[in-house]
Structure 1
Amino acid sequence: MGGAFLAAAVLARLGGRIGLPTIPLFILAGILLGPHTPGIVLVADPHDLEMLSLLGLVLLLFYLGLEFHVDDLKAGGRRMALAGGAYLTLNVGAGLGFGFALGWGTSEALVLAGVLGISSSAIVTKVLVDTGRLGNPETKPILGIIVVEDIFLALYLAALQPVLSGADSLAAAAPAAGKAFGFLLLLAAAARWGTRLVGRLIATKDSELLVISFLGAAVLVAGVSEWFGVADAIGAFMVGLMLGGTSSGPRIRKLVHPLRDAFGAIFFFAFGLSIDPGDLPSVVWPVLIAVALTLLMNVLAGMTAARIYGFGPGPAANIATALLARGEFALILATMAAGAGLDERLAPFIAGYVLILAVLGPLAAGRSGLLARVLPGGGAGRGAPPGTAPEAEPAVSRPG
C-alpha cells in the first residue's frame, strides 16, 4: 500500500511539471505496477486494495454531497431532471444502439447501454476539484446530472441483474427495483427534513470525534445503500448532502480534504490494476468508435443542459467535458457480464473504453475553452474564461 501511494505521488509530481492532470497518472501507476505488465509488481491481486478503493469512492462522493446543498435540489429540481434525462436519453440510447449494431447479443447490448451511458462520479468529482470549478454556475447542472444518473443506475442495475441471470425480466426485477427506489426516497426525505436533527447529533468541538462521526456515517450509509440495491456512491453523497447543511459543514469540508485526496488516489490506482493492456488490441476499433460516439453525445448533452439553464458556450463546453469520463460503474457492469457468461469480448472492450475516457476526460476538461470556441455562439466569447459566459453569473471558486 505504501508503494502504491508513493508510486502515484511520484508519477503525479512528474506529470504536474508538464501540466498533466493527476487522475490518468494515478491510473497509469496502477497499470505499470500491476500484474498485467512486466517489471515490478506491487500488487499481484487487485482485490487486495478493494476495500481501500471503495473507501476512496465513498469519500469522493461524500465530499461532492458536502458541496451540493439541499436548496439547490429544491430550487432546480425540474431543470435538473430535464438535464439529467436529456443526458441519459442521448448517451444510454446511443450505447444501446451501438450494442445492437455490434451484434454481440441482446444482453450484451443492455450492458453496453449502461457502460456508454453513465459517467464516473468519482472522476467527475475529482475533475471539478482539480479545475477549481466547484463554485461555477454550470457545476449545479453537472452535479444534478450525476444525481439523476445515480438514481437511474440504482434502478437499472436492479432491473439488469435478473435479465442477465435469465429470469423473467419485468416480474423478477420489480421487487428489487421497488426496494432500491424506496430506499432512495428514504435517503431523500432524510436529506430534506433530517438536517437539523443530524446537525445536533454530530456537532462537537473535538475534531477527532467529528472525523470519526462523519466518516462512520458516510461508510455505514454507503454499505446499507448497497444492501438495498442502491449504489454505495449515492448513499455517501446523501450523507454529505445532509452534513453540508449543518453548522459543522465548513469544518467537515476542511477535515475531509486529506482523506479524500489520499484514498481517492488509491481508488484510481486500483482502477489501473484491473486493466490488462494485452487484451485491448482485439477490440481496438469498437473501442475507438464508442469513444467517438460518446464525445459526440456529450457535446450534444452539454449544449442541451446549457440551454435548459440559460448558459452560453463556455459552460456548455465545461458540462460536456466534465461528464465525459467513464469509470467505476462500467467496471461493475463488466464484472456482472463476466459472471453471467456473456461475450468474452465485453471485458477488454470495457477496459479499453474506460481507460481512454478516464485519461481523455480530465485532459478535455482542462482545455474546455477550445471546445467552447467551436460551439454555436462561441466566437463571441473567445476572450472569456472557459468557466463563464455572458448569460452566467460570475464564477466564485472555492479552494479545492
Structure 2
Amino acid sequence: MGGAFLAAAVLARVGGRIGLPTIPLFILAGILLGPHTPGAVIVDDPHELEMLSALGLVLLLFYLGLEFHLDDLKAGGRKMVLAGTVYLVLNVGAGLGFGFVLGWGTSEALVMAGVIGISSSAIVTKILVDLKRLGSPETKPILGIIVIDDIFLALYLAALQPVLSRSDGMGAALMDGGKAFAFLLLLALAARFGTRVISKLIHTRDDELLVISFLGAAVLVAGVSDLFGVADAIGAFMVGLMLGSTTSAKRILKLVHPLRDAFGAIFFFAFGLSIDPGDLPSVAWPVLAAVVLTVAMNVLSGMFSARVYGFGPLAASNISTTLMARGEFALILATMAAGAGLDERLSPFIAGYVLLLAVLSPLAAGRPHLLARFLPGGRGAGDREAEKTAVPV
C-alpha cells in the first residue's frame, strides 16, 4: 500500500512538471505496478485494495455533496432535470445503438448502453477540484447532470441485474427499482428537512471527533445505500449534501481535504491494476469508435445544457469536456458482464474505453478554449475568455 501511494505521488510530480493531469498518471501507476505488466509488481490482486478504493470513491462524492448546496439544487431543479435527461437520452441511446451495431448480443448491447451513457462521478469530481472550478457557474449543470446520472444508475442497475442473471423476472426488477428509489427519496427528505437536527448531532469543537463523526456517517450511509440497490457513491453524496448546510460545513470541508486526496489517488491506482494492456489491441477499433461517439454526444449535450442555462460557447466546452470521462460504473458493469458469461471482448473493450477517456477528459477540460473555437458563436470567444477562466492543469 505504501508503494502504491509513493508510485502515484512520483508519477504525479513528474506529470505536473510537464502539465499532465493527475488522474491518468495515478491509473498509469496502477498499470505499471500491477500483475499484468512485466517488472515490479506491488499488488498481485486488485481486490487487495478494494476497500481502500471504495473509500476513495465515497470521499470524492462526499466532498462533492459538501460543495453542492441544497439551494443550488432547488434553484436549478427544472433546468437540471432537463439537462440531465437530454444527456442520458443522447449518451445512453448512442451506447445502445452502438452495442447493437457491434453485433455482440442483446445483453451486451444493454451493458454497452450503460458503459457509454454514464459519466464518472469520481473523475468529474477530481477534474473540478484540480482545476478549481467548483465555484464556476457552469459547474451547477455539471453537478446536476451527475445527480441525474446517479439516480438513473440506481434504477438501471436494478433493472439490468435480472436481465443478466436471466432469472427473477420483471417483477423483481421493479421491486428492486422501487426500493432504490424509496431510499433515495428518504435521503433527499432528510437533506431537505433534517438540517437542524443533523447540525446539532454533528457539531463539536474537537476536530478529532468531528472527523470520526462525518467519516462514519458518510461510510455507513454509503454501505446502507448499497444494500438498497443505490450506488454507495450517491449515498455519500447525499450525506455531504446534508452536512454542507450545517454550521460545521466549513470545518468539515477543510478536514476532509487530505483524506479525499489520499484515498482518491488509491481509487484511480486500483483502477489501473484491473487493466491488462495485452487485451487492448483486439478491441482497438471498437474502442476508438466508441470514444469518437462519446465525444460527439457530450459536445451535443454540453451545447444543449449551456443553452438551457444561458451560457456561452466556453461554458458549453467546459460542460462537454468535464463530463466526458467514464470510470467506476463502467468497471462495475464489466464485472457484472464477466459474471454473467457475456462476450469475452466486453471486459478489454471497457478497460480500453475507460482508460482512453480518463486521459482525454482531464486534458481537454484543462484547455476548454480549444473546443470552444469550433462551437456555434465560439470563433474567437474561446481565445478571449481563455485567460480569464483556464486554470493550469
TM range (shorter): over 0.9
Tell me the amino acid that sits aligned with residue 58 of structure 2: V
Query: 1:111-156: CA deviations, max 9, x gaps?
Result: 0000000011000000000111100000000000000000000000
The structure-2 alpha-carbon separation of the partners of 1:200 and 1:124, relative to structure 1 and needing over 3 Å to count, comes to same
Aligned residues: 392
- Preserved CA contact (<8 Å) 1:95 1:117: yes
Aligned to 1:130: 130
Q: Is the 8 A contact 2:180 2:229 kept in 1?
A: yes
Report deviation, 1:396.
12
CA distance, structure 1, for counterparts of residue 384 and residue 10 of structure 2:
34
- 1:87-236 aligned within 5 A: 87-167=87-167, 169-236=169-236
| Alpha-carbon shift at residue 379 of structure 1 (Å) | 1.6
Distance 1:385 1:59 in 2: 33
In the alignment, residue 3 of structure 1 is paired with which amino acid?
G
Matched residues in 2 for 1:207 and 1:96: separation? 48
**Residue correspondence of structure 1 range 201-350 to structure 2 within 5 A:** 201-350=201-350
Helix, strand or coil at the partner of 2:288: helix
Change (3 A) 1:387 1:213: farther
Question: Shift of residue 195 of structure 1?
Answer: 1.2
Equivalent residues of 1:61, 1:236 under 8 A apart: yes
The unaligned stretches of length 5 or more in structure 2 are none
Q: Decide whether aligned partners of structure 1 residues 169 and 297 sit closer, same or farther in structure 2, where only a CA change above 3 A counts.
A: farther
Could you tell me which residue of structure 1 aligns to residue 379 of structure 2? 379
Shift of residue 250, structure 1, vs aligned partner: 0.4
Partner SS for 1:384: helix
Aligned match of 2:60: 60
Q: Is the 8 A contact 1:136 1:387 kept in 2?
A: no
Shift of 1:190: 0.7
Query: Take 2:160 and 2:225, find their aligned partners in 1: how far apart are those partners?
Result: 18
> Counterparts of 1:270 and 1:362 in 2: how far apart (Å)?
18
Identify which range, 358-367 or 37-46, moves more after superposition.
358-367
* Residue 17 to residue 342, structure 1, CA distance change in 2 (3 Å): same
Q: Partner residue of 1:355?
A: 355
**Offset at residue 172 of structure 1 (A):** 2.5
CA contact (8 A) 1:120 1:323 kept: yes
Q: 1:92 is paired with a residue of what secondary structure? A: helix
Other structure's SS at 1:171 match: helix
| Pair 142,387 (structure 1): closer, same or farther in 2 beyond 3 Å | farther
Q: Percent identity?
A: 79
- The secondary structure found in structure 2 opposite 1:132 is coil
Contact map agreement 2:142 2:319 (CA 8 A) in 1: yes
Cα-Cα RMSD: 1.4
Does the 8 A contact of 2:369 with 2:383 survive in 1?
no
Range with bigger deviation, 186-195 or 39-48: 186-195
Output the CA distance in 2 between the equivalents of 1:120 and 1:36: 24
Over residues 37-70 of structure 1, what are the superposed CA-to-partner deviations in whole Å (9 max), with x where a residue is unaligned?
0000000000000000000000000000000001
Unaligned runs of 5+ in 1: 389-394
AA partner of residue 74 (structure 2): K
Q: Distance in 2 between matches of 1:39 and 1:191?
A: 49
SS in 1 for 2:166: coil
Give TM-score scaled by structure 2 length. Answer: 0.98
Q: Which amino acid aligns with 2:211?
A: V
Cα distance in 1, alignment partners of residues 320 and 169 from structure 2: 33
Tell me if the contact between 2:159 and 2:174 (Cα under 8 Å) persists in the aligned partners: yes
Contact persistence 1:291–1:353 (CA under 8 A): yes
The whole-number CA distance in structure 2 between the counterparts of 1:244 and 1:212 is 16
Deviation at 1:73, TM superposition (A): 1.1
Mapped to 1, the partners of 2:25 and 2:387 lie a distance apart of 24
Secondary structure at 2:76's aligned position in 1?
A: helix
Instruction: Report the counterpart of residue 28 of structure 1 in structure 2.
Output: 28
Code of the residue aligned with 1:310 in structure 2: it is G
Task: Tell me, yes or no, if the aligned pair for 1:34 and 1:44 is still in contact at 8 Å.
Answer: yes
SS in 1 for 2:209: helix
Instruction: Quote the Cα distance in structure 1 between the aligned partners of 2:43 and 2:141.
Output: 38
Aligned AA (1:253):
L
How far 1:380 moved relative to its partner?
Answer: 4.5
CA shift in 2, pair 1:386/1:308, >3 Å: farther
Is contact 1:315–1:387 with CA below 8 Å preserved after alignment? no
- Single out whichever of 168-177 and 38-47 deviates more from structure 2: 168-177
Going from structure 1 to structure 2, the CA distance change for 1:249 and 1:281 (only over 3 Å counts) comes to same
Stretch deviating more after TM superposition (70-79 or 26-35): 70-79
